[in-house]
Structure 1
Amino acid sequence: MTLRTLPQALLICLLLQIGSAFFSTSVQAQGNQPVTTSEIGIGIGGANYKGEISPNYRFLNNQPALTVFYRRDMSNAITLRGGLLGSHRIFDDKSFSDEAFDERPLHAYRQAELKFSLLELSGVVEYNFLDYYDRSQSPRLSPYLFVGIAGMLYNKKLYMAGNVEREFDTDITVAIPVGVGLKYALSTHWNLGLEFGARKTFTDKLDHLQAPDFPENIANPHDNDWYFYNGISISYTFYRYNCPPIYKKRPGLLD
């Protein structure tokens, strides 16, 4: 072994040691967990949008949103969650606007408003900082982070200077959900949750103000749109005891 290859060999050995420790810890943690859980839940909150019309997150721009989800624990720290999120304006005059930025010449000139509805299907991975599924804890709670992937069906209508600039149009896009939350066990089966999440999209078409349909002094072609969800949820936990399989002695080939 030459001096040139020695650092690469040491790095490979180090990575193998870290990997073996990680996997052995994961297997042991799973083996010590006789119960697996799954949850179904419902949440209510607000959906928001950030783009050309509303360049910063504004709490007052939230419109009602409802979500249903299914969650399953994979280990003491990792849970998987699938969810369906929907948001629609309740009042017809409810819209996203940039009225808070009227002091800016561009927004004052544009006078744009957006009516927006969405339906999102997502799958995320949650990382729990505390052992939330240890029922001996009191109180039983954990903050968590999540990241995943989502598909969104959305419908939008654009007004400029009080007139309809673009009629209702339906489109689909892909987004990356990421955010933080807090889980709190109300009882053995019932759970309360708080969550704030951002969705980075790969499109600039959520608000109809995309280039080249509009000149660059109206729409920014270098910045994709975002949308958000923040809300509260309640869920019900199902427990399953993992009984060991029935042992059956089978003779080997050399027995």
Structure 2
Amino acid sequence: MKHFFTHTLAVLLLLALVATEASAQQFNKRKQYNSVGVSLNAMNYFGDIVPKASVPSFRFAATRPNIGLTFTRRFAPRISGRAGLSYGRITGDDTKAANQNDSDAKYRYNRNFAFRNDIVELSAIGVFDLIENRNTYVRRPDFVPYVFAGVAAFYHSPKGLVKDNGTSAGLTPGDYIELQSLNTEGQTEGYSKTQISIPFGGGVRYKINKDFDIGLEIGWRKTFTDYLDDVSGNFAADADLRSPAAKYFGRDITLRTDGEFSQFNTPGDMRGKSNEDDWYIVTGITLNYILQPRVKSPKFR
């Protein structure tokens, strides 16, 4: 909760900066303009199914694509507001991420879990340019670094991969099964598929010509859920796993068929890091098209 208030305060300060900048600079409305953009990105996540159970750790081979559309309004010499819609996927696999010979990673390797999660995000972001532009869009700077922060809502639905031992639960190896409704940790209520995140990051923008900009951007998403990967707390008792599929993903998937198994999945044993929320990160290239502002001709009487 402390982190929630910290990030919320940061967003409010950014919004206040937008209002202050726009008022103080008295930016001529004729110099304001809009742009639309399309982005092609790489998507990763920080959570429980990574090489190290910490935020900086992620596996490059688990990178998946993300695409997005944006609409940006320039309000002031340094300030823009941007709305965005994006779709992408995150993945993780204990077999590939965790080292079975590392004592700290042994339980994660034996957990034997693999997932994917398709995320649809709608965001509202404030962008602060480190180089100002007091001119029209035609005379904007050629190269502009910037930072951004805002708020986003996203929809997600993690799916678990059925391993070779899934036939015992009546599942087909290689299939992906939706996990939220299974309550794989014995929850009385499933977590919500609709969540809030705090996007923040930075990038650089380059002017190709008067109509187009190209940019490179990296952005982190601080979420407030630990279930992007459906792994959070402890292993549940069989009585709390209410279907064969729930028992398989919640317990029996740990019975590996490709090596030695160490008993560690008794009820109450740690399944995930319940005190750490998951993150995802989006890195990519954006192409923006400037919508030329309409200049009203003066009226003579």
TM-score above 0.5, yes or no: yes
- Stretch moving more, 160-169 or 207-216: 160-169
Unaligned runs of 5+ in 2: 1-15, 170-175, 181-192, 237-267
User: 3-state DSSP class of the match of 1:76?
Assistant: coil
Partners of 1:132 and 1:96 in 2: how far apart?
43
In structure 2, the partner of 1:234 is 287
1:167 corresponds to: 177
Aligned partner of 1:154 among 153, 156, 170:
156
3-state SS of 1:69 partner: strand
Matches within 5 A, 1:68-83: 68-83=69-84
Distance 1:101 1:142, change over 3 A: same
Quick check: 2:27–2:75 contact (8 Å CA) kept in 1?
Answer: no
TM-score (ref. length: structure 1): 0.76
Whether the aligned pair in 2 keeps the contact of 1:132 and 1:141 (CA below 8 Å) is no
What is the root-mean-square deviation in Å for CA atoms of aligned residues? 3.0
Aligned AA for 2:270?
Answer: N
Residue number among 70, 92, 97 corresponding to 1:96 in the alignment = 92
Instruction: After TM superposition, list the pairs within 5 Å mapping 1:53-68 onto structure 2.
Output: 53-54=49-50, 55=53, 56-68=57-69
CA deviation string 1:65-99 (max 9, x = no partner): 1000000011011100000010148xxxxx42242
Q: How far apart, in 2, do the equivalents of 1:231 and 1:39 lie?
A: 18
Aligned-residue sequence identity (percent) comes to 24
Q: Which runs of 5+ in 1 are unaligned?
A: 1-18, 90-94, 249-255
Number of aligned residue pairs: 221
* Contact 2:44 2:281 survives alignment (8 Å): yes
TM-score, normalisation: structure 2: 0.65
Superposition deviation, residue 31 in structure 1: 4.0
Q: CA, structure 1 residues 125+63, in 2 after alignment: closer, same or farther (shift >3 Å)?
A: same
Matches within 5 A, 1:206-245: 206-211=228-233, 215=268, 217-240=270-293
Measure how far apart 1:212 and its partner are: 5.2
**What SS does the aligned partner of 1:240 have?**
coil
SS of the residue corresponding to residue 226 of structure 2 reads coil
